[in-house]
Amino acid sequence: MGFNKFLYRKEIDGLRALAVIPVIFYHSGFLIFQGGFIGVDIFFVISGYLITSIIIKDIHSKNFSVLNFYERRIRRILPALFFMMLCTLPFAYKFMNPSNLKEFSEGIIASSTFWSNFLFYSQTDYFGIAAEINPLIHTWSLSVEEQFYIIFPVFFFCYGN
């Protein structure tokens, strides 16, 4: 269906741009931005707003289909996710020891199934040193978002009418 011009709002793009600043500065080591996670929270709120708007519009126009919704999410998310994982594979193979490579492989599987938030929670302190060398650590937020995408549309369709 493409980019829905009826749901597009310029201010959301501006908010995204502002939200990414504390995340980048936090990961760059600027101590003044220790609350970089606030940017991630803003992204979650924006995503929830946009997804809810799409679902409500589709339900009211009698065009909502859970399968079509999932297909749109898959087409949007998986190509970039798999490309990023493919790009990290040669570096992981070259620079990681067998133990780290095993954890990396678990991260690939968990990221592919949108379960990495649980895996990394059980393995790593997100704010610790080990997280800094994990090339997939950022996929935890994608997993949370995708879990929302999987559960929310069905719930909303069943109980939101």
Last residue of a domain, which of 64, 83, 105?
Answer: 64
- Return the percentage of the chain with pLDDT > 90, whole number: 28
Q: Would the pLDDT of 124 be above 60?
A: yes
**Pair (90, 153) in one structural domain:** yes
**Pair (76, 155) in one structural domain:** yes
The b-or-e profile of 54-85 (16+ CB within 10 A means b, else e) is bbeebeeeeebeeeebeeebeeeeeeebeeeb
Q: Would the pLDDT of 5 be above 60?
A: no
Counted domains in the chain:
2
**Pair (115, 126) in one structural domain:** yes
Distance, CA of 107 to CA of 66 (rounded, Å)? 28
**Pair (55, 88) in one structural domain:** no
**Pair (69, 89) in one structural domain:** yes
Distance, CA of 19 to CA of 40 (rounded, Å)? 7
**Pair (56, 69) in one structural domain:** no
Side-chain-side CA neighbours of 36 within 13 Å: the count stands at 18
